[in-house]
Amino acid sequence: MARLKTYGFYLLVAVIVLQAVFPFYYAILTSLETGQAIFDINYLPAALDWSNYRSMLSSGVFGRQFLNSAVTASAVVVLSLVLATTAAYALARIRFRGRGLLLLTILSVSMFPQIAVLAGLFELIRAFGLFNSLWALVFSYMIFTLPFTVWVLTTFMRKLPVEIEEAAIMDGASALTIIWRVFLPLMWPAMVTTGLLAFIHAWNEFLFALTFLSTDTQRTVPVAIAMISGRSEFEIPWGNIMAASVVVTLPLVVLVLIFQRKIVSGLTAGAVKG
Amino acid sequence: MARVELQAVRKSFGTVDVIHGIDLDLASGEFVVFVGPSGCGKSTLLRMIAGLEDISGGELRIGGEKMNDVLPAKRGCAMVFQSYALYPHMTVRENMAFGLEQARLSKREIEERVTQSARMLQIDHLMDRKPKALSGGQRQRVAIGRAISRQPRVFLFDEPLSNLDAALRVDTRIEIAALHHRLHDTTMIYVTHDQVEAMTLADRIVVLNAGKVEQVGTPMDLYERPASRFVASFIGSPRMNLIEGATAEAMGAACVGIRPEHLHVAQDGPWAGKVVMAEALGSDTFLHVETAEAGRVVVRIPPGETPTPGTALHLAPDAARLHRFGADGAPLA
Ligand SMILES: Nc1ncnc2c1ncn2[C@@H]1O[C@H](COP(=O)(O)OP(=O)(O)OP(=O)(O)O)[C@@H](O)[C@H]1O
Ligand SMILES: [Mg+2]
């Protein structure tokens, strides 16, 4: 019986891993094949042909688009974290009327479907003169990343004992020193986790990027990939698309691997006494 | 070298008054203990002296200087919190050095002071550990060490021992007494719930009740001459027996109090009763006796033969040790 349980458990794990990893694995396989080979179904690498990668990287704008994505996502992360830390401090530590309501409102903002705010947002961005600028994306992505970051960091900050802050006050630390030397080191795991999720969101976002940017050199990678076209309109260049997708996913994988330990402790940090 | 003076000090949170005008004058180097029931404002008063709470009215002076609007770090106070409040991400050494770095002391002086206070508290072997790798008692010592290394004029403790187990509590209490002896210039203010801590540590005890001072005095003063019925019942463990009704009226008071050790089992005693329960603690035995005249009272008897529940006996109060209180709770001469 116990053995059956163990087998069942590993079977479940295998299914989950398979469904999570297989699409990516298949993308890698496809990206290494060319011509007709792509349409032959194989589950093991049949060829090692880097020509898709070569042709994509030499296409000129891809490097620029990659950079666009990186800049946008990094700006979103930095701005979100700076704004969210300060907001979380206020929401967690300072008593004022309507605090609970404000917090709920902030969270509910992130529940609107993107498509619902698209038209209004488009008008706003035109009015600010941000159309076809990366700032349009930074601005619109933060509508979705900020509520989440603020919420998580506020919850996290509430769990930090007030006495620690008071001890620092008694020790003569200024407000900035307290944030820099006491809060940040304690909040670091939570910030890494939320920052990473914000990065992933900004990196993968498609709809806003498609709507608010109009020229090839401004595009971010997800849109660029969707717009890769073949030699004729009847040919979809799967090889190139898959190669681009793999290249785009790699930074995320690397980031997650780097911060892996912090993420885990960040997600559980609320549960154990700090 | 710091006298601490409070003059008509008040505190309100919004519309709620918590401290109603407190006058106190604590001498330099004195060990003063604040006691009182939960919620009476002990912590609030301590935090006002520290500067963690604003003072709503009145004046606070430390070393003769008005401190109402001085920043906490500039008051020369150090505080030991109930929850220790160590910085979890710093080692013991860093915890102790943090305040000194903020005061911009030289590296050498910081090192010297940290080493010295670590040695004083025997935590020098723990210097490179993080707080989570310490036991509760060790954490509390580090918290005290952190406060000592700042060389404060006034030491503030808010129930520093209440998170420790009983044995450790006794040890640490003795250490704090020794510490006060060594730092005899430093004024210490100590908040506690614990009778024994208050009686053994204090030069003077301040009994607070509902945001007012009930009585200030040496432990024996408070024990022998309580200035109100409240203090009489609050100081002493087990509590003083308070007797109301006809027996009290016969003595011309609304209430009379007699401590358990001043009641004796005597053949010809005026109060007849039956033992309800006997608690033998080894050094003493406490009898709970139900009497017709005085209600239920506690009697301390020497160790030895313990009467079983149900035993009938007579009790005699030590007349010289009776405390008589009027209807307003004030003592009658
Ligand atoms: N920030 C606050 N806002 C409103 N009321 C407060 C605040 N802090 C304390 N109080 C109130 O002030 C009163 C005194 O609180 P305080 O913490 O000083 O009591 P205490 O004597 O230390 O009690 P305990 O022995 O339980 O620690 C309490 O009635 C409490 O509810
Ligand atoms: Mg308290």
Given CA atoms A167, A170, A175, A176 in this order, what sign does their dihedral have? negative
Residue B77 buriedness (CB in 10 A; 0-12 / 13-18 / 19+)? buried
Residue B55: per-residue pLDDT? 95
Cross-strand bridge partners of residue B13 = B16
- Sign of the CA dihedral with B208 first, then B209, B210, and B213 last: negative
**B4 near B152, Cβ under 8 Å?**
no
> Is B228 near ligand 1, meaning CB less than 6 Å away?
no
Q: Which residue has the higher pLDDT, A266 or B171?
A: B171
Distance CA A204, CA A169 (A): 42
CATH topology of domain B238-325: OB fold (Dihydrolipoamide Acetyltransferase, E2P) (2.40.50)
Would you call B200 helix, strand, or coil by DSSP? helix
Q: Is the pLDDT of residue B222 over 90?
A: yes
CB-based contacts of B201, cutoff 8 Å, min separation 6? B31, B33, B173, B176, B177, B180, B190
Q: Tokens 């305040």 correspond to what residue?
A: B99
Separation CA B105–CA A62 (nearest Å): 55
> What is the mean predicted confidence (pLDDT) over B143-171?
91
Answer whether B209's CB lies under 8 Å from B40's CB: yes
- In chain A, the N- to C-terminal Cα span, in Å, equals 39
Query: What is the strand order of the sheet B271-280 is part of?
Result: B263-265, B312-317, B271-280, B285-291, B295-301
> Residue A267's pLDDT is what?
55
Of A164, A173, A185, the CB nearest to B85: A164
Cα–Cα distance measured from residue B161 to residue A274, given in angstroms and rounded to the nearest whole number = 21
Percent of chain B topping pLDDT 70? 100
B208 within 8 A of B45, measured Cβ to Cβ: yes
Which residues is B78 bridged to in the sheet? B155
B296 forms beta bridges with B290
The pLDDT, as a whole number, for residue A126 is 92
The whole-number pLDDT of residue A272 equals 40
Cα B214-B257-B333 angle, rounded to 5 deg: 70
pLDDT bracket for residue B94 (50, 70, 90): very high
Q: Which CATH superfamily is domain B4-225 in?
A: P-loop containing nucleotide triphosphate hydrolases (3.40.50.300)
Banded pLDDT at B34 (limits 50, 70, 90): very high
Bridge partners (DSSP) of residue B313 are B273
Residue type, B305: E
Q: Phi and psi (nearest 5°) for B73?
A: -70, -20
Neighbouring residues of B114: CB distance < 8 A, sequence distance ≥ 6: B93, B96, B97, B100, B127, B149
Q: B68 CA to chain A: closest CA distance, Å?
A: 15
Which of B18, B191, B207 for mutating ligand 1's site (highest number of atoms within 8 Å of CB)? B18
Q: Is B73 on the interface with A (CB under 8 A)?
A: yes
Kindly state if the Cβ of B262 falls inside 6 Å of ligand 1.
no
Q: Where do the H-state alpha helices sit in chain A?
A: 2-31, 51-57, 61-93, 99-109, 114-127, 134-159, 162-170, 175-177, 184-204, 207-212, 221-226, 238-268
Query: Going by CA atoms, what residue is nearest to atom 24 of ligand 1?
Result: B38
Angle (nearest 5°) at CA B237 between B279 and B263: 70
Q: Looking at ligand 1, which atom is closest to the CA of residue B40? A: 21
CA count, 13 A, side-chain hemisphere, A13: 6
Q: How far is the CA of B64 from the centre of ligand 2 (A)?
A: 27
Mean pLDDT for A194-208 is 91
Alpha helices by DSSP H, B267-326 = none
Test mutation, B13, B47, B89, B105, chain A, max A CBs within 10 A = B89
Hey, are the CB atoms on A170 and B79 less than 8 Å from each other? yes
pLDDT band at A231 (very low <50, low <70, confident <90, very high): low
Per-residue pLDDT tens over the stretch B249-302: 888 899 999 999 999 999 898 999 999 999 998 889 999 999 988 899 999 999
The residue type of B26 is: L
Q: Cβ of A35 under 8 Å from any chain B Cβ?
A: no
Residue scoring higher pLDDT (A268 or A254) = A254
Instruction: Answer yes or no: is pLDDT of A271 > 50.
Output: no
pLDDT attached to residue A263: 67
Residue A266 confidence (pLDDT): 55
Please say whether the beta carbons of A159 and A270 come within 8 A. yes
Record the pTM: 0.79
**Residues contacting A272, CB < 8 A, separation 6+:** none
DSSP label at residue B331: B
**Is the pLDDT at A222 greater than 80, yes or no?**
yes
pLDDT confidence of residue A273: 40
* Residue B70 DSSP symbol: S
For chain B, helix, strand, coil in percent to 5 are 30, 30, 35
Tokens of B281: 């603690």
Q: Quick check: A177 contacting B, CB < 8 Å?
A: yes
Q: Residue A274: its pLDDT value, please?
A: 36
- Tokens for A161? 């004992």
Contacts of A255 (CB under 8 A, 6+ apart): A196, A199
Between the alpha carbon of residue A186 and those of residues A159, A263, A269, B97, the distances in Å are 11, 13, 10, 18
Q: For the ranges A8-22, A41-55, A93-107, B236-250, which has the lowest average pLDDT?
A: A41-55
H or E stretch including B118?
Answer: helix B107-120
If you average pLDDT over residues A155-178, what whole number do you get? Answer: 89
Amino acid B187: pLDDT: 95
- The SS3 of residue B58 is strand
Strand partners for B287:
B278, B299
Task: Supply the ipTM of this predicted assembly.
Answer: 0.85
DSSP B277: E
**Token pair listed for B283:** 């050094």
At A159 the three-state DSSP class reads helix
The predicted structure's pLDDT at residue A81: 93
Q: Domain spans of chain B? A: 4-225, 238-325
Q: Least CB-CB distance to A172: which of B83, B84, B102? A: B102
**Which amino acid is residue A35, in one-letter code?**
G
Name the nearest CA neighbour of A217 among A30, A51, A65, A50. Answer: A65
| A-chain residue closest to B74, CA distance | A172
Residue A214 is given by DSSP the state: -
| Least-confidence region, from A52-56, A116-120, A159-163, B34-38 | A52-56
In chain A the domains, ranked by start, together with CATH numbers, are 60-220+249-268 (1.10.3720.10)
* Partner residue opposite B81 with nearest CB, options A167, A182, A186: A167
The HSE-up count of residue B115 (CA atoms within 13 Å, CB side) is 6
Q: Is the CB of B40 under 6 A from ligand 1?
A: yes
C-alpha span between B318 and B149 (Å, rounded)? 50
